[in-house]
Amino acid sequence: MSRSAACAIVGGGVVGASVAYHLAARGVRDVVVLDRAPRAGEGSTGRATGGFRAQFAGATEVQLSLLAREKLRRFADETGGDCGFVAAGYLWIAEDDAQLDALRAALAVQRANGVDDAVEVDADEIAQINPYLRGAGVRGGTYCPSDGFIRPLQILDGYRGAAERLGVRFEWDADVVGFDRGRDGTIATVRTKRDEIAVQNVVNAAGPWAAHVAALAGLELSVSPLRRQVAITAPTDALPATMPMTIYAGDGFHLRVRDGRVLMLIPSAGGADPFDVSVEPAWIESVTRVARERVPCLEAVEIDRDACWGGLYEMSPDGRAILGAAPGVPNFYFANGSSGHGVMHAPALGALLAEIIVDGRATSLDVSPLRPARFGDADEPRSTELL
Ligand SMILES: Cc1cc2nc3c(=O)[nH]c(=O)nc-3n(C[C@H](O)[C@H](O)[C@H](O)COP(=O)(O)OP(=O)(O)OC[C@H]3O[C@@H](n4cnc5c(N)ncnc54)[C@H](O)[C@@H]3O)c2cc1C
């Protein structure tokens, strides 16, 4: 027997769970989340390291962060969960004038959009904020003490639990394999490998797999997977848990401490299979070398090779989220393409998409820079690679 839903959300990661919660909180009944995984957290959300920052170069990303931060600060009241937010700060390091100019330009955008505590710092101030760095080569940087760390799976769990209490159904092992359109061209039915659901609305929240889900509906979506590898040390007290996330603007190397171990990342090329998340031994060697050059106390710390992991960013062409109805199909919505910032922005994206679906437009923020149809526009500003 076929069944129905007011809204089917494809993907039960942090973005899908946030959309589900915010729809239910706005009074939408009969929301179902369909995920092909056997349990929550199997997609990118479970592989994220949990950084949160308002230090972006684009005004829209800064605004998304501020809206998300406000919601994370009252996450316990809103969902009953613990998002694990710790304001340990983010420290960006420039090693030459060009990098410093880029950080200054981003800082101006941040300040203009209300990030009042982001500041430029010189080499001496950097040495005080993070005394573990080798000072040589540090030209300057920016620092924002209210940036910090969050717990991706706890945010997913918080939204999922709160959504379930409002009546949302999460179905695991529910692979979405197709959509059928009605006579007016809108989506009428979602097909899973088990059954069919007649729907009023569909949300694509399929993370790095979003283009495939869109294609099942006959829609084009420019979201591609990009592998990110994470190296992790054995347990160590070489660096304190309070050390800010520290990022080198030139090559994107960054490190932080989580649960008594140091996490280290540096961007690398993807594998031959774009969905491959294996970790390359040569990459571990190179990130370890870079880490030990820049943070001398790591020289004596072992890497836990078996615990290193890989995951996928969900890249859009301009590095910016894609939010709103698909062009030409008004009941198929995208919540995609966060390009590696999906955990920190999920609280904002879920609230904004609920406004779009329930009210017909987002009222908390101007989300026109995120409109799905923007990629044909000639003069759309591009977000920078790292910031
Ligand atoms: C190494 C690494 C570090 C990161 N660090 C950070 C960070 O510090 N801060 C930050 O904000 N972000 C970070 N990210 C990015 C972040 O993980 C993502 O932006 C975020 O998790 C995206 O959430 P999502 O819900 O869209 O996707 P996902 O969590 O991937 O969820 C998508 C879900 O869709 C399901 N699905 C796919 N296809 C189908 C289908 N056909 N039918 C049914 N279900 C389907 C999948 O099973 C999956 O559960 C990091 C990512 C990586 C890889």
Degrees, nearest 5: CA angle 153-210-361 = 85
- Cβ of 31: how many Cβ atoms within 10 Å? 23
Atom 51 (ligand 1) nearest CA? 48
Domain that holds residue 293: 87-146+225-315
Nearest ligand 1 atom to alpha carbon 37: 47
338 and 231 inside one domain: no
180 and 204 inside one domain: yes
Task: Report the alpha-carbon distance of residue 286 to residue 302 in Å, rounded.
Answer: 14
**Counted domains in the chain:** 2
Residues 6+ apart with CB under 8 A from 196: 2, 3, 180, 189, 190
- How confident is the model at residue 387, as a pLDDT? 74
Residue 287 lies in a domain: yes
**Which among 18, 21, 34, 45 is the best mutation to test ligand 1's pocket, defined by most ligand atoms within 8 Å of the CB?**
45
How far, rounded to the nearest angstrom, does the alpha carbon of residue 285 sit from its chain's CA centroid? 27
- Cβ of 227: how many Cβ atoms within 10 Å? 23
- CB 147, CB 87: distance < 8 Å: yes
- How confident is the model at residue 217, as a pLDDT? 98
162 and 36 inside one domain: yes
Residue 174 lies in a domain: yes
Last residue of a domain, one of 315, 337, 352: 315
Q: Between the CA of residue 382 and those of 291, 297, 317, 352, what are the distances in Å?
A: 30, 38, 9, 22
The conformation of residue 384, written as its DSSP 8-state character, comes to P
311 and 323 inside one domain: no
164 and 286 inside one domain: no
Nearest ligand 1 atom to alpha carbon 43: 30
294 and 328 inside one domain: no
Q: DSSP for 222-233?
A: --EEEEEEEEEB
User: What amino acid is encoded at 168 in this protein?
Assistant: V
Lookup: tokens for 14 = 């942090």
190 and 329 inside one domain: yes
Ligand 1 surroundings by CB, under 6 angstroms = 10-16, 34-37, 42-45, 47-51, 175-176, 205-209, 213, 228, 230, 311-314, 338, 340-344
230 and 303 inside one domain: yes
Task: Report the alpha-carbon distance of residue 256 to residue 237 in Å, rounded.
Answer: 12
Lookup: tokens for 322 = 């894609």
| pTM check: above 0.95 | yes
The CATH number given to whatever domain includes residue 113 is 3.30.9.10
Lookup: tokens for 209 = 């797999």
Q: Which helix (H) or strand (E) holds 186?
A: none
- How confident is the model at residue 272, as a pLDDT? 84
Q: Which residue has the tokens 């203009």?
A: 112
Lookup: tokens for 254 = 């960054």
Nearest ligand 1 atom to alpha carbon 345: 11
Task: Report the alpha-carbon distance of residue 356 to residue 263 in Å, rounded.
Answer: 37
15 and 39 inside one domain: yes
291 and 182 inside one domain: no
Residue 78 lies in a domain: no
Exposure string over 177-202, b if 16+ CB within 10 A, otherwise e: eebeeeeeebbbbbebeeebbebbbb
E strands along 153-252, which residues? 169-171, 176-181, 187-192, 196-204, 224-232, 245-248
- How confident is the model at residue 380, as a pLDDT? 54
304 and 235 inside one domain: yes
Q: What is the pLDDT along the chain (387 residues), one digit of tens a residue?
A: 579 999 999 999 999 999 999 999 999 999 999 999 999 999 999 999 999 999 999 999 999 999 999 999 999 999 999 999 999 999 999 999 999 999 999 999 999 999 999 999 999 999 999 999 998 999 999 999 999 999 999 999 999 999 999 999 999 999 999 999 999 999 999 999 999 999 999 999 999 999 999 999 999 999 999 999 999 999 999 999 999 999 999 999 999 999 999 999 999 887 789 999 999 999 999 999 999 999 999 999 999 999 999 999 999 999 999 999 999 999 999 999 999 999 999 999 999 999 999 999 999 999 999 999 999 665 555 555 567
Residue 64 lies in a domain: no
